[in-house]
Amino acid sequence: MTDTYAGPSSASVLLQQPPGKPDFDVLVVGAGPAGSAAALAAARAGCSVALLERGPFPGSKNVYGGVVYGRVLDELVPQWWEEMPVERWVTRRSTMVMTADQALTVDFRSQRWGTAPYNGATAHRADLDGWLAGHAVAAGAVLVPATVATGLLRTTAGTVVGVRTDRPDGDLTARVVIACDGVNSFLAKEAGLHPKQDTARHLTLGVKETLALPREVIEQRFGLTGRDGQDIEILGCTRGIPGGGFLYTNLESVSLGVVVGLPGLATAKVRPEELLADLKAHPAIAPLVRGGRQVEYAAHLIPEGGYDHLPELAGDGLLVAGDAAGMCLAAGIWLEGVNFAIGAGMYAGRAAVAAIGAGDTSQAGLAGYRRALEKSFVLADHRKLRKVPGLVLSERMQRQYPGLICDLAEGLFEVDNPRPKPGLRRLLRTAVRRHGVSPRRLLADAITGMRAFG
């Protein structure tokens, strides 16, 4: 294991002289949901803000499963649902557990989620991120696209005072830098906020196909009307590699993907698109996606370590938010990220404003950020569910439980006349034995699950 990172910013630029008046109060790197929320919060409070984006436009480098939960926006953009670029409102939420030829689905629908103030929505990141960045710009932030932050500018004492960019004369200085530069966050790593060892262990790789289908075909197959949408989360579709899958409906396409742990994928010697091909051919999925023309194939890393593996969130002159701070929640029935990014960005922006106002942008002066996060859903949810990522990605949950659950359902629903019906207890005993699960282990996992979710 090397102790240096790959990335554009392997070494900070040390300034012998502290800069004079900085170019901006706040410099936000990355115009994803965290960055735009940070820029919006800071600009609204009257700070001068630059928002750097390495892609040609916000969202162009970004990929996610496909569902955003917008409630956090109530504070930033009142009535956001009237203007957010949404594909469909999720009114049908399903969890599917599958083996190669079985599938058990828990399917919930609520028409209340299809009316204001709404719950989840499918959206494309190029639309969503651009929309939120537009709000930051309207509040006064300067969006600087097509620009890579290649390293931190630091004083000899180590305080972050800006970034170097890949533009000619590209140094930009600021009182506070907010790194929202995504899962690979070279800036946070360069500042020493991330642990340097074993970084791949808590990362998953998501691959996603966007499959175009006519609107009415989607509505027929998924039982939807108007802007209603379905979101299906899948366990057991990854050949035992820790991970899962998803299928989300957009207006005129569906997003089909798998998410797998990076170390598991590397050792399994399976390629990600093979897992997607499996999923597409599965009898429970094939009829839903049949004939879909692939319009985009995409991939992205996801930080799934949860609360116990968050980096440091602040340094002298520096805050970290969003994927750069590992704020993705991958906890089985909850798979969320954009909402945490928006929340964290908002609090980072406010903390930067408060620190600038108080004249102390040191790590101590910025510590209000972490306190605000701990009080809000952002870290409260992560803290509460800290044990779940480990449980969901465990060997048993991945290799044994899907088959056990499906066999249990098959036994329960099978009509095997003239033999009398087996009792649930016997079915469970048989399934547990067939899948080599220790009953004690099963009980322990059930208790862990109840505690973690409870």
Determine, following the binding rule CB under 8 A, whether residue 287 of this chain makes contact with another protein: no
**Nearest distance, CB of residue 205 and another protein, angstroms:** 5
Determine, following the binding rule CB under 8 A, whether residue 16 of this chain makes contact with another protein: no
**CB proximity list for 248: less than 8 A, separation 6 or greater:** 65, 66, 67, 122, 229, 230, 231, 232, 254, 255
The 3-state DSSP class for residue 118 equals: coil
SS3 content of the chain, % helix, strand, coil (to 5): 35, 25, 35
Interacting residue with another protein among 14, 106, 277, 446 (CB under 8 A): 277
Determine, following the binding rule CB under 8 A, whether residue 42 of this chain makes contact with another protein: no
Determine, following the binding rule CB under 8 A, whether residue 158 of this chain makes contact with another protein: no
Q: Take residue 66 and report the two structure tokens written for it.
A: 């496909």
Interacting residue with another protein among 203, 354, 409, 442 (CB under 8 A): 203
Strands 160-165 and 149-155: antiparallel
Buried b (16+ CB within 10 A) or exposed e, 72-82: bbeebbeebbe
Interacting residue with another protein among 294, 374, 446, 451 (CB under 8 A): 294
Interacting residue with another protein among 27, 213, 338, 373 (CB under 8 A): 213
Determine, following the binding rule CB under 8 A, whether residue 55 of this chain makes contact with another protein: yes
Residues in the chain: 454
Strands 334-336 and 329-331: antiparallel
Interacting residue with another protein among 31, 104, 137, 205 (CB under 8 A): 205
Interacting residue with another protein among 75, 105, 107, 290 (CB under 8 A): 290
Residue 32 or 236: the one with the smaller Cβ distance to another protein is: 32
Q: Take residue 432 and report the two structure tokens written for it.
A: 């547990």
- Give the DSSP H/E element, type plus range, for residue 364: none
The 3-state DSSP class for residue 59 equals: coil
Q: Take residue 256 and report the two structure tokens written for it.
A: 């089909």
**Nearest distance, CB of residue 313 and another protein, angstroms:** 21
Residue 237 or 385: the one with the smaller Cβ distance to another protein is: 237
Which chain residues interact with another protein by CB under 8 A? 1-2, 6-8, 54-56, 59-64, 124-126, 145-148, 165-167, 183-184, 199-200, 203, 205, 207-213, 250, 253, 255, 262-263, 265-273, 277, 280-281, 286, 289-301
